[in-house]
Structure 1
Amino acid sequence: MVRKLAAGNWKMNGTRAALEELQALAQAHSDPAVDILICPPATLLMSAAELVSGHPLDIGAQDCHTAPSGAHTGDISAPMIADCGATAVIVGHSERREDHNESNDLIRAKAESAHAAGLTAIICIGETLAQRDAGQTLDVIADQLQGSTPDGATGVNTVIAYEPVWAIGTGKVPSLEQIGEVHDFIREKLTARFGADNVRTIRLLYGGSVKPANAAEIFAVPNVDGALVGGASLTEADFSPIIKSLEATV
């Protein structure tokens, strides 16, 4: 059975003082029934990985460059991330797609670089509110999924995170039916491309205003294998109830 995943994206938040929250999280979940991943800012990657060493908690990065090295000032490569002790990297988050004009092709190349470095790529996809209102949600999801996912994707090296852009940080959450429709659609598309045996092991996360108050009902939706959580992952007090809600589905 594939283990479910509770992933936290700290985004551009956290200084060294925030490592106290990470330590508290590690202590609170010494034998979790699900996988737990925290993606802190790059400045904390190595410290975070060292802090949780020996604990069943993994560290990931929030982005990587397509190249393993080179003249790319300010960027971080996938091998560098792995060298810090991290095991995963988020690619294609809507904030990167929008703020940095990242295309599907670029995100796919980043995921391939992550795979080459032995990292799990968490590939984010999702529609804007205008696209949903126009009835384009599934078309957008299909395009991003096809264009951003490498041919070598497996359950070991790839996680897909559905994050409707209009729900991220807004407090707005799609209905359970809407979440289920998209997750079922993603599973169908992946099955058609990669085959049923492989696709069963690729975890599908939901992200977008996931909180302790709504986590349990979201996790009860079929084909939701966990969550990619933003603000609620910044503290142990907020993230632990979400983790426990996910464990309750195991």
Structure 2
Amino acid sequence: MHIDLSSRTAIVTGSTAGIGLAIAKGLAGTGAHVVITGRTQARVDEALSAIRATQPDAKLSGVAADLGTTEGAAHLIAVMPEADILVNNLGIFEPKAFFDIPDEDWQRFFEVNVMSGVRLSRHYAQGMAQRGWGRIQFVSSESGVQIPAEMVHYGMSKTAQLAVSRGLAETLAGTGVTVNAILPGPTLSEGVGEFFGKIAAERGVPQAQVEQEFIATHRPSSLIKRLASVDEVANLSVYLASEQASATTGAAVRVDGGVVRSAF
């Protein structure tokens, strides 16, 4: 299968590292004009350089904005008023016991993980529908299906993304715009790697051991028995953004290593 998106413009939120950067690299490899976003210009510039190091001819731009805020979303829209592909990847996570999560954390997780995608989709989907083609994705998580006790607020936000994704797909029925959610399982992104690395350093053990123990203890239903790579997640995103995925919409597609114990 050859995926050619050379005539398309793609915005990937939270794309200076981790899954977002891997998705941006993958889309750039299809010829798409990819817009990198991050909170600071320095991080955006680093991501642009990282992609150009392996893809010198990549069509790239960058926008520095805090997309977890109304003002940040408005800035991105002002700079890039149109897009053909929108990947709502921006997200935060934090293990914290339920009884220790204050109101402010619940609100912060909802603003960043949910409302960032709502605001941008509300704008870009209208132009996509008018042009008769578009791809919108929400990078949710298996935690939106199996809520983790160690971070209920995170799971809540990921379930909300599934609702928004399906509802928007229904809203855009027949327009040529597809809307899907991706459900990664535990993935060795930059943030997750730093988290496990800190634990490993504190315990004086190899990071690989901490990762294996996490899977065995917290995600024992995993069928691959390891963390996924960011590229494995990005591959699914690139496919869903393609012309070839035109019949896939309103779906929650898992790339979770079999963590969710369900045939559907």
Whichever structure has more helix as a proportion of its residues is 2
- Asked which structure has the greater CA Rg, the reply is 2
